[in-house]
Amino acid sequence: MRIAMISEHANPLAALGEVDAGGQNLHVAELSAALAAAGHDVTVYTRRDDPVQSADRITPQGYRVVHVPAGPVRPLPKDELLPHMGEFTRFVERAWRTDRPEVVHSHFWMSGLVAVVAARAHGIPVLHTYHALGTVKRRHQGTADTSPDQRIGIERMIGRTAAGIVATCGDEVTELARMGVPRTNVSIVPCGVDCAQFTAEGPAEDKALPFRVVSVGRLVPRKGFADLIAALPGVPDTELVIVGGPEHARLAFDPEVRRLRALAEKTRVADRVRFTGQVPRDRMPGLLRSADVVACVPWYEPFGIVPLEAMACGVPVVATRVGGLTDTVVEHVTGELVPPRRPAALATALRTMLADPIRRSFLGGAGRDRAESRYPWRRIAEECVREYQRCAELAQTGAITVVGSAAR
Ligand code: UDP
């Protein structure tokens, strides 16, 4: 199929770990690569934010990336991008006049807006993946939420207008139902993991203490790193390695690192907490394998790819019982689930797991099996293609309307 992906802020070629570059970038990159490997023609449209980016390039994985001129050619926080989406929309709408995809898959709400408006003129069906929902963010972050006020309304509009919604987990389906998105319009296709890159066998980085807990993510408060630091006094002989954020050289200036370091000092665990800064993809498996436990303890989590990477490396996971983590981490089988924002419960779960090496190896082995059987990107791409074909056929037969805004 000829597939257009729209991922306005999350460039599949970006380095991961900074505030606006994480799971979505990886999802778009890996899904596009798996689709290209299966013989599909994939073009990703993403905002141009660096003057050295070529306008158009074919990646070694065989998909094409088009850097769309929309707003200043420099990085902007994603919450400031909405005013530039008109320019983005006009660009793709023009591109599709001569290069018409059969289906558009948009990622994140502003891409969804671009997609439904640009595709309408051409009668192309749009499938949308939210990656995160404004309603959930508002609930958890309240006044700290810097998303534009229009976000929730636009997300609702996309849910009713797109030919199909590709949710990534069961929890998201419930949230979408609360927003009034028809259940019949929603399918679930999770994110995946590269089981050839993330393996249980292979070198592991050295640890400095008998036990190591690794936690990976963009350095934003909701990822729960502060809860891990608060739990650490209750987890003896253990170092905590926090992975993500800016490059190592810029770490000392990062406000979130400063906040977490101050907390570690106050909690008297500063000598057991280490920040690596941004870690390139090829270093990640060795780092995860060095962990006795990988902790994924966000306050909320739309999907969460890190637990899959840990599972693929045969490492047990302690995760919070939120969002996509309740689908990926099978309690007592591949890891343990704890309530969010409860350092005492977290400390107990970590301590108990670290005390039992046999249980850890059992959980890690089951995690590897689960990653290999359910989450390879090849399988995720096949499931997406089934949805693309279904919507393309429905659009052709007129069963769904893709011209005009009243889709169903
Ligand atoms: N990641 C990385 N280097 C870093 C930090 C993170 O490669 O320094 C990767 C991590 O391995 C995972 C992704 O970024 O593949 C984060 O995805 P996740 O879904 O867990 O979180 P999100 O960023 O979507 O909130």
The ligand 1 atom at the shortest distance from the C-alpha of residue 220 is 25
Is 139 a domain residue? yes
Both 140 and 259 in one domain: the answer is: no
- What spacing in Å lies between the alpha carbon of 309 and ligand 1's midpoint? 10
Mean pLDDT along residues 215-234: 96
- What spacing in Å lies between the alpha carbon of 21 and ligand 1's midpoint? 8
CA-proximal residue: ligand 1, atom 24 (nearest): 23
pLDDT of residue 405: 40
> Does residue 101 register a pLDDT over 90?
yes
Are the beta carbons of 34 and 381 closer than 8 angstroms? yes
Both 387 and 366 in one domain: the answer is: no
Is 405 a domain residue? no
The ligand 1 atom at the shortest distance from the C-alpha of residue 304 is 19
Mean pLDDT along residues 150-164: 96
The ligand 1 atom at the shortest distance from the C-alpha of residue 298 is 25
Both 226 and 243 in one domain: the answer is: yes
Both 114 and 238 in one domain: the answer is: no
Is 200 a domain residue? no
Both 9 and 76 in one domain: the answer is: yes
The residues lining ligand 1, judged by C-beta closer than 6 Å to any ligand atom, are 16-17, 22-24, 26, 216-218, 243-244, 278-279, 281, 284, 303-306, 309
- What spacing in Å lies between the alpha carbon of 55 and ligand 1's midpoint? 26
Mean pLDDT along residues 45-63: 95
CATH code: domain of residue 12: 3.40.50.2000
- What spacing in Å lies between the alpha carbon of 304 and ligand 1's midpoint? 8
Mutate to test the pocket of ligand 1, among 9, 16, 219, 313 (most ligand atoms within 8 A of CB): 16
> Does residue 289 register a pLDDT over 90?
yes
Least confident window among 1-15, 16-30, 72-86, 316-330: 16-30
For 371, what's the count of Cα atoms within 13 Å in the CB-facing half-sphere? Answer: 29
Paired tokens of 402:
């893709």
6, 5, 9: which is closest to 21 by C-alpha? 9
Strand segments (E) across 269-334? 273-277, 293-296, 317-320
Both 218 and 187 in one domain: the answer is: no
- What spacing in Å lies between the alpha carbon of 23 and ligand 1's midpoint? 5
Both 155 and 291 in one domain: the answer is: no
Both 162 and 239 in one domain: the answer is: no
- What spacing in Å lies between the alpha carbon of 238 and ligand 1's midpoint? 23
pTM listed for this prediction? 0.93
pLDDT in tens, 188-203: 999 999 999 999 999 9
Distance CA 408, CA 401 (A): 7
The ligand 1 atom at the shortest distance from the C-alpha of residue 245 is 8
Mean pLDDT along residues 207-224: 96
pLDDT of residue 407: 38
Strand partners, 127: 105, 164
Distance CA 246, CA 15 (A): 10
The ligand 1 atom at the shortest distance from the C-alpha of residue 21 is 23
Angle (CA) 354 358 363, round 5°? 80
CA-proximal residue: ligand 1, atom 14 (nearest): 22
CA-proximal residue: ligand 1, atom 23 (nearest): 22
The ligand 1 atom at the shortest distance from the C-alpha of residue 244 is 8
Is 55 a domain residue? yes
> Does residue 266 register a pLDDT over 60?
yes
When pLDDT is cut at 50, 70 and 90, the band that residue 406 belongs to is very low
- What spacing in Å lies between the alpha carbon of 284 and ligand 1's midpoint? 10
- What spacing in Å lies between the alpha carbon of 18 and ligand 1's midpoint? 9
- What spacing in Å lies between the alpha carbon of 343 and ligand 1's midpoint? 22
Containing structural domain, residue 352: 211-374
> Does residue 402 register a pLDDT over 80?
no
Distance CA 323, CA 167 (A): 12
Is 334 a domain residue? yes
Q: Give start and end residues of each alpha helix (H) in 99-150.
A: 109-120, 134-141
Both 235 and 353 in one domain: the answer is: yes
Are the beta carbons of 393 and 52 closer than 8 angstroms? no
- What spacing in Å lies between the alpha carbon of 16 and ligand 1's midpoint? 6
CA-proximal residue: ligand 1, atom 11 (nearest): 306
Q: How far is CA 185 from CA 4, 72, 168, in A?
A: 20, 36, 14
- What spacing in Å lies between the alpha carbon of 25 and ligand 1's midpoint? 9
What SS3 state is found at 47? strand
Q: Phi, psi (5° rounding) for residue 74? A: -160, 160
Both 183 and 274 in one domain: the answer is: no
The count of domains in the chain is: 2
The ligand 1 atom at the shortest distance from the C-alpha of residue 307 is 20
Distance CA 227, CA 221 (A): 10
For 319, what's the count of Cα atoms within 13 Å in the CB-facing half-sphere? Answer: 30
Is 285 a domain residue? yes
CA-proximal residue: ligand 1, atom 17 (nearest): 23
For 26, what's the count of Cα atoms within 13 Å in the CB-facing half-sphere? Answer: 23
Residue percentage of the chain with pLDDT more than 70: 98
Is 205 a domain residue? no
Mean pLDDT along residues 3-9: 98
CA-proximal residue: ligand 1, atom 22 (nearest): 23
Both 178 and 226 in one domain: the answer is: no
Is 95 a domain residue? yes
Both 91 and 216 in one domain: the answer is: no
Least confident window among 157-161, 341-345, 398-402: 398-402
283, 275, 137: which is closest to 217 by C-alpha? 275
The ligand 1 atom at the shortest distance from the C-alpha of residue 301 is 25
Residue percentage of the chain with pLDDT more than 90: 92
pLDDT of residue 403: 54
pLDDT in tens, 105-133: 999 999 999 999 999 989 999 999 999 99
